[in-house]
Amino acid sequence: MTINQEHSAQEIFETLETLETSTEHAALQSVRWTGEQLLLLDQRLLPEEILYLDLKTPEDVWEAIRQLKVRGAPAIGIAAAYGIYLGVRHLTVDGRSEEDANQNLYQTVLEHAQYLATSRPTAVNLFWALDRMTNKTQVLLKAGLNLNQIKQAISEEAILIQAEDEETNRLIGEHALTLFEDGFGVLTHCNAGGLATSKYGTALAPFYLAKEKGMAIQVFADETRPVLQGARLTAFELQQAGIDVTLICDNMAGAVMAKGWIQAVIVGTDRVAANGDVANKIGTYSAAVLAKAHGIPFYVACPLSTLDLNTPTGADIPIEERHEDEITQGFGKRTAPKGVKVYNPAFDITPNEYVTAIITEKGIIRAPYTENLSRLLEQD
């Protein structure tokens, strides 16, 4: 993988200032398609360093997803969609008939989709985006287009996935904001913000919109061990946007709730099962149990693409386990004895009875989830 784009934080924020109006939310984009290059913000380096990587191949994208350079369910899906295009962009007819060249392209798309699907197992948006790209390719093939036209349309589909995500998140934010009042303290876990999506985020979208509307919300961000998405990413992006954010360690959430500082919890999700069980960053379940114990509503924000009606319950969602070093050496030095046994699941399941509501771009869904989620997707 080559790295040829490096901007200082100052350069990035100056550029963003010229792109955005002063009232609108300005943010770093985790995935940027320039029309020529796929630039990806290396989220492992935040908040200390802002570095854009120039990804050239599906292998680069696979590596970036696996290593959490890009992370967060929607952003993973967006990166993978561009990965499909990177895999076909240099294909030529190369002496084949037009039909054989198109078939070769389709096979290449399928192979890259299968390969990219092995990068991480839990976020269903990855598989959703890859299915959308392969289905689109099939439609394009049937439409009788030539190779270059199909390649162009594949790149446009990836751009569309990214653009739609931004609009979706704004709608999620609008719906979520109806659940909050001026002066609320709201706890969030992990990072379900602009960095995890194309813009705004899911769980963080209402905070950006509240800011635009002049509504005061005090956000509490769990630091989110072991990889610290809350500390490194949520606290960073909210602070950059001028939103009132207070960082706490994960084990402080109960104490903060007991003080009466939290009126709602809102998180994103990597996959919602058909019965409304929710997979999200490890520690989400603990936050949900604490919220219930304190009579605080627990909200989950996600696009429809995160709803997986093919997975009956949370027990059927594959949970990624990551390397022990994230726990034993996560702070850049060893913090546990060598050889100690480690269990490091990246996600947990919050059973549906802890979920007060699920907020999507189509509105707010409450229990019974099995009926209401399937009705919601039927409407779509």
Question: Contact, 128 vs 81, CB < 8 A?
Answer: no
- What burial class does residue 8 get, using C-beta atoms within 10 Å of its C-beta: 0-12 exposed, 13-18 middle, 19+ buried? exposed
Residue partners of 369: CB distance under 8 A and separation at least 6: 274, 275, 276, 352, 355, 358
Residue partners of 337: CB distance under 8 A and separation at least 6: none
Residues acting as catalytic residues: 270
Q: Name the residue with the smallest CB distance to ligand MRU.
A: 268
In the complex, the smallest distance separating the C-beta of residue 19 from ligand MRU, rounded to whole angstroms, is 22
Residues numbered 283-322 forming contacts with ligand MRU, rule: CB under 6 A: none
What 3-state class would DSSP assign to 53?
A: strand
Binding site annotation covers 281? yes
Nearest to ligand MRU of 204, 376 (CB atom): 204
The secondary structure of residue 195, as a DSSP letter, is G
Nearest to ligand MRU of 137, 198 (CB atom): 198
In the complex, the smallest distance separating the C-beta of residue 190 from ligand MRU, rounded to whole angstroms, is 4
Residues numbered 254-283 forming contacts with ligand MRU, rule: CB under 6 A: 268-270, 280-281
Residues numbered 92-151 forming contacts with ligand MRU, rule: CB under 6 A: 123
The distance between the two most distant Cα atoms of the chain, rounded to a whole number of Å, is: 72
Q: Quick one: CA torsion of 329, 347, 29, 216, rounded to 10 degrees?
A: -100
Nearest to ligand MRU of 120, 211 (CB atom): 120
- Interface with ligand MRU (CB under 6 A), residue from 205, 238, 346, 365: 346
Binding site annotation covers 89? no
> DSSP assignment of 351-369, as one string?
-GGG-SEEEETTEEE-S-H
Tell me what percent of the chain is helix, strand and coil, each rounded to the nearest 5: 45, 15, 40
- Decide: is 192 part of the binding site for ligand MRU (CB under 6 A): yes
- Interface with ligand MRU (CB under 6 A), residue from 81, 88, 130, 196: 196
- Decide: is 194 part of the binding site for ligand MRU (CB under 6 A): no
Binding site annotation covers 64? no
* Residue 159 C-alpha from the chain's centroid: 16
> Interface with ligand MRU by CB under 6 A: which range of 77-85, 88-96, 157-165, 192-200?
192-200
Tell me the binding residues.
71-73, 120, 229, 280-281
Give contact residues for ligand MRU (rule: CB under 6 A): 71-74, 123, 190, 192, 196-197, 201-202, 229, 268-270, 280-281, 346
Binding residues for substrate: 71-73, 120, 229, 280-281
